[in-house]
Amino acid sequence: MIVLAGVIVIGALFIRENVIATRLLRADPDTLNSDLRLKRLAISRGAPIFHSRCASCHGDHGEGDPSRGFPNLTDKDWLYGEGQVSDIERVVDYGIRAPNPKSWNMVIMPALATPDPGGEKGLQPLSPDDIDDVTNYLMQVEHRPHDRAAAARGEVIYQTRGACYDCHGADAGGDSAIGAPNLADHIWLYGDGSRAAIFQSIARGRHGMCPAWIKILRPAQIREVAVYAHSLSDARAAGKVN
């Protein structure tokens, strides 16, 4: 009798799991606000997945770690797309520069102080003085203290042989179709936005990688963790976390 009751309970739990997973996967991830119960359920189930799979890089509260190039997921600044649940889910599925054929991997930040920075356009290296000039230009873009003559030289490099404009945009506003960060918004993926950190990014290049989870997590888990990650920036916008 006890065994039978046990089997029934386990069976019922199994069915409930499947019903929730099916409902979540059938829903449009970007309009979950219209089904708040389902959204809350997804958030509560996504939280432990986030803490076991993502927090080691993105931080316990999604705050990121600029000393290692791990982006903050609680701000409204997104490398790819607009931070909708579907955008996040795509990143979680296939990763960024991960060993998966569908991974986001459109462009990389060239190492411009190396003899062969590469890139499709066959970029030429920049000298340390050139890099210092471009750094001054980026300081000017953010209205921070800079050397005006150096910034003027840096702007020319930015818009011509440095090819910076090509990825980051002529206004340095970034391009979320290719994962090129905004350089004008005072939000830095790498380091504290100091001259030294910016210089490093330009001189040595950057190659951030987010793993692909499609072969590790079940589809419903991926949606749950994406809904949870999305809720982190919602919570911040609502002033619940800083």
Q: Footprint of ligand HEC on this chain (CB under 6 A)?
A: 53-54, 56-58, 69-71, 73, 78-80, 88, 91-92, 96, 107-110, 112, 119, 134, 158, 162-164, 166-168, 179-181, 183, 188-190, 198, 201-202, 206-211, 213, 225, 229
> In terms of Cα–Cα distance, which of 100, 94, 123, 101 is closest to 110?
123
Residue 179 CB, shortest distance to ligand HEC, in Å, is: 5
Residue 144 CB, shortest distance to ligand HEC, in Å, is: 13
Nearer to ligand HEC, 24 or 198 (CB): 198
Task: Please tell me the distance from the alpha carbon of residue 63 to that of residue 74, in angstroms, as a whole number.
Answer: 6
Residue 45 CB, shortest distance to ligand HEC, in Å, is: 13
Task: Please tell me the distance from the alpha carbon of residue 88 to that of residue 241, in angstroms, as a whole number.
Answer: 20
Task: Please tell me the distance from the alpha carbon of residue 84 to that of residue 32, in angstroms, as a whole number.
Answer: 11
Nearer to ligand HEC, 32 or 202 (CB): 202
Residue 2 CB, shortest distance to ligand HEC, in Å, is: 39
Can you say how many angstroms the Cα of residue 93 is from the centroid of all Cα atoms in its chain?
13
> In terms of Cα–Cα distance, which of 227, 214, 218 is closest to 31?
227
Nearer to ligand HEC, 15 or 25 (CB): 25
Contact of 83 with 230, CB cutoff 8 Å: yes
Contact of 159 with 169, CB cutoff 8 Å: no
Nearer to ligand HEC, 32 or 54 (CB): 54
Nearer to ligand HEC, 173 or 208 (CB): 208
